[in-house]
Amino acid sequence: MADRLKVAVLASGRGSNFQALASACLAPDFPADVTLLLVDDPDAGAIGIADTLGVRSYVIDCGRSKGSMSKESSEEIYRLCSENGIGLVCLAGFMRIVKGRLLEEFSGRMMNIHPALLPSFKGLDGQKQALDYGVKVSGCTVHFVDKGIDTGPIIIQRSVPVLQEDTEESLSARILAMEHEAYPEAVKAFAEGRIEIFGRRVEIHDE
Ligand code: GAR
């Protein structure tokens, strides 16, 4: 049997995408395992989920600069990932820009999920940005991570309607349900070697 892909998830908060990924991996035909959770906040809800699921977790001090990560923390996360044989890093609500060694070494092997249809509404509060702008359709995007903010090649997008009566909460909930489907699908395709990157374009081959 081929080796299963080992996935590390980086998160900062609630951890519902971490949970969706880790749970998807429990299915017998899913070719990957989430083996590591790395958080930058000791209060992150994701830690409790990791404990319940038996996934090892570490709190990494990423520095005091909000939205950014220190050189040391990039090195430390890279070290933990390489020591643990990680083949794919998934950012799931990780609220810092990844840079340094971690970004270089995991180029093409690091994904992020964003709660809007990129390239619209990059950065923070993608759902609120979409509501405020008045778009009629929004959604989520799984993309590879590059050195920009939410700029890497797009792997999967899922759309949801924006309803007249939507609040930020109701729209976020509808998008989140799509996130929980799209992220495992992208990881599965990656683990099965069905993803090819051609510059900005990503092709997913059939199973
Ligand atoms: C998700 O909606 C994710 O798309 C978003 O944070 C939330 C994390 O939720 N990420 C970003 O906004 C990144 N720019 P979770 O902790 O329950 O997975």
Question: Which of 57, 91, 113, 187 to mutate to test ligand 1, by most ligand atoms within 8 A of the CB atom?
Answer: 113
Q: According to the model, what pLDDT value does residue 3 have?
A: 81
Q: Which residues contact 28 (CB under 8 A, 6 or more apart)?
A: none
pLDDT, tens digit, for every residue of 185-202? Answer: 999 999 999 999 999 999
Region 62-79: what's the mean pLDDT?
95
Strands (E), the chain: 5-11, 32-39, 56-59, 88-91, 110-114, 137-144, 154-161, 195-198, 201-204
Q: What is the chain's mean pLDDT, rounded? A: 97
Q: Is 114 a catalytic residue?
A: yes
CATH top class, domain 5-197: alpha beta
Report whether pLDDT(136) > 80. Answer: yes
At residue 133, does pLDDT exceed 80? yes
| Separation in Å, CA 124 to CA 5, 33, 97, 130, 188 | 30, 29, 11, 11, 27
d(CA 89, CA 190): 11
C-alpha 2 – ligand 1 centre gap (Å): 32
Pocket of ligand 1 (CB under 6 A): 11, 13-17, 92-93, 113-115, 126, 176, 179
Distance CA 102, CA 77 (A): 7
Residues 78-92 pLDDT 10s: 999 999 999 999 999
The pLDDT, as a whole number, for residue 121 is 98
**What pLDDT band is residue 207 in, cutting at 50, 70 and 90?**
confident
Percent of the chain with pLDDT strictly greater than 70: 99
pTM over 0.85: yes
Q: Answer whether residue 2 shows pLDDT above 90.
A: no
Distance, in Å, from the CA atom of 145 to the CA atom of 78, rounded to the nearest integer, reads 15
Average pLDDT over residues 100-127: 97
Determine how β-strand 56-59 pairs with β-strand 32-39.
Answer: parallel
Number of other CB atoms surrounding residue 156 within 10 Å: 20
From the list 114, 143, 180, 205, the catalytic residue is 114
The pLDDT of 95-109, averaged and rounded, is 97
pLDDT in tens, 155-194: 999 999 999 999 999 999 999 999 999 999 999 999 999 9
DSSP assignment of 75-94 equals: HHHHHHHHHTT--EEEESS-
Residue spans per domain, the chain: 5-197
Q: Which of 12, 16, 128, 170 to mutate to test the pocket of ligand 1 (most atoms within 8 A of CB)?
A: 16
